Amino acid sequence: MKRFSFRYKETIVTILTDSEDCYKIAVKAILEARSEIEEYIALNPEFLTSYEPIDCHGGEIVSRMCTAAKIAGVGPMAAVAGTIAGYAVEKMIEAGAKIAVVDNGGDIVIHSDRELVVGIYPSEFALKIPPVEYLAVCTSSGKIGHSVSFGYADAATVIAENPSVADALATALGNEIGDFGREELENVVSRFYSKHSDHVEGIIVIKDEIMALAGDLPEIVTARSSEDLITKG
């Protein structure tokens, strides 16, 4: 397994895969996805700025983002990182990669023939992900990162098969986390999971010293990760 880093404009990714050839395929896919999004924004500026779902008539990438936005009740750009990561992983799988992991600023899509440990930043908790064909682990934070969040969560993490939906729902979940205690946090997480259980496998919210869980989650372990393993700008 090889680790690569790639940065282009706002996109900052870490890529784990078998070979440099698969890394190059991932980079090509990322640039293709970004190009489609940028061209659509040039003709439809609302796509970039809306915090609400909007009707879209674009290509495959734009359509994935808009569909996810409608499911989550957020703007389409809330799904951008997960959508790009998912598209890149799909192209790597098509090329025969046994390991294809793209971490796009904390929105992670995984295809792996071996167990992986995925940390939840900025905490000391991690998820032990078994070998999996295709899975997304997407996180929104009200305290770190450049993405817009209206909540107070250290980390609001959604695990789902669809990375566009996982990313959009992580944003929606993070927006709902107010400055409150354990009971209200657990109630919000429970209600959110009940509402979106058709689309997600599990959710985790970490706020201060509190963790709230719902759904079918991988094993949660403690893990200390070094700063150089964290994909951030």
**pLDDT at residue 229, as a whole number:** 56
For the chain, domain boundaries: 2-222
Q: The sheet that has 219-222: what strands, in order across it? A: 116-120, 125-129, 219-222
Provide the angle, in degrees to the nearest 10, between the axes of the packed helices 80-94 and 20-43.
Answer: 140
Please answer whether residues 147 and 156 qualify as being in contact, where contact means their C-beta atoms are separated by less than 8 angstroms: no
Residue in 105, 99, 107, 137 with CA at minimum distance from that of residue 8: 105
Q: What is the pTM of this model?
A: 0.91
Residue 76 CB-half CA count within 13 A: 22
d(CA 153, CA 174): 6
Please answer whether residues 192 and 203 qualify as being in contact, where contact means their C-beta atoms are separated by less than 8 angstroms: yes
Neighbours of 35 (CB within 10 A): 12
d(CA 128, CA 233): 25
Place of tokens 């909540």: 151
**pLDDT at residue 232, as a whole number:** 54
User: In the structure encoding, which two tokens stand for residue 164, read together?
Assistant: 């566009």
User: In the structure encoding, which two tokens stand for residue 36, read together?
Assistant: 């489609």
Q: What is the mean pLDDT of each run of 10 residues along the chain (233 residues)?
A: 91 94 97 97 96 94 98 97 98 97 96 94 87 96 59 89 98 91 94 97 93 94 68 54
Q: What is the CATH number of domain 2-222?
A: 3.10.520.10
Q: What is the pLDDT of residues 62-93, one digit of tens each?
A: 999 999 999 999 999 999 999 999 999 999 99
**pLDDT at residue 179, as a whole number:** 85
Backbone dihedral angles phi then psi of residue 13, each to the nearest 5 degrees? -125, 150
**pLDDT at residue 226, as a whole number:** 59
Q: Among the residues of 73-162, which ranges form H helices? A: 80-94
**pLDDT at residue 142, as a whole number:** 59
How far is C-alpha 160 from the geometric centre of its chain's CA atoms?
9
d(CA 25, CA 5): 13
User: In the structure encoding, which two tokens stand for residue 224, read together?
Assistant: 């200390």
Provide the angle, in degrees to the nearest 10, between the axes of the packed helices 182-196 and 163-175.
Answer: 150
